Structure 1
Amino acid sequence: MQYPSSRCPGMTAIFALLFILLSAAAVLSVLFLDGVLRVLFPVMELAIAALFVWVLTGTRYTLAENALILQCGPIRDELPYREIKSVYKTRGHGFLMALDFDRLELNPGLDPTRGKIVLSPVREDEFIEELRKRCPELIVK
């Protein structure tokens, strides 16, 4: 079962602003730079802008057979269900695999190097119930 990331207007606006700024920088680079920089800078700026679009449209969470698969643009991570100990609703800022300020925080428990995992699936309550079916000892706070 797959859940796309919820997107709040504020986070979408941040991504849109970054995309516009990078696109404008690419145009200005073509107009005002010479030589190899005239090509190199716009290519880099447009690649970064494309990365923002990929993250915005490609962030999702999949409840697979044995693991929760987290996809955020080019970044992919798998979290085995046996490692998930708790989940609770939280609110915060910053970008972690979440595109909304209303988030779920998972604490894997068994692997302290992994730390807390923050995500923002649409239909949070349904996501928690599906996760609970796969993690019978899950603590919901």
Structure 2
Amino acid sequence: MLSNLDAIPEYEASTNKELQKENPINVELTLDELREFDGTDSHKPVYVAINGVIYDVTCKRHLYALGKGYHILAGRECARALAKGCLTEDMCSNELNDLNDEEFDTLKDWETYYNRSYPNVGRVVYAHIK
């Protein structure tokens, strides 16, 4: 797995999910590093993380662009926001302890959607408390 941002190649557009099977990326990013993939730099891919899984949503960059409806999710862990159906910055986290059954079902639906629609390119590495 890649362990730093320097190992991520400059982005080349591709909307083919099959390409992932041939050339998996397997990045490991901290939450701070993930923020660098929020769609504001056109030379980098746009990433969204759900439950620690990072998806490349660059093929729909226009939906995640600054000022667009899903921009708040770009470059963030957004499991809680999707589960709650509340697309605000304070909801972008992986804090799921207080979700009810309906919200967990909603999150599973979103995970299924992202798995079918976008390449999984890696995972979030959470800092360990010392």
Note whether the superposition's TM-score is higher than 0.5: no
Question: Shorter-normalised TM-score: what interval?
Answer: under 0.3
What's the TM-score once normalised by structure 1's chain length? Answer: 0.23
Whose strand fraction is larger, Structure 1's or Structure 2's? 1
What's the TM-score once normalised by structure 2's chain length? Answer: 0.24
Greater RCO, CA 8 A, separation 6+:
2
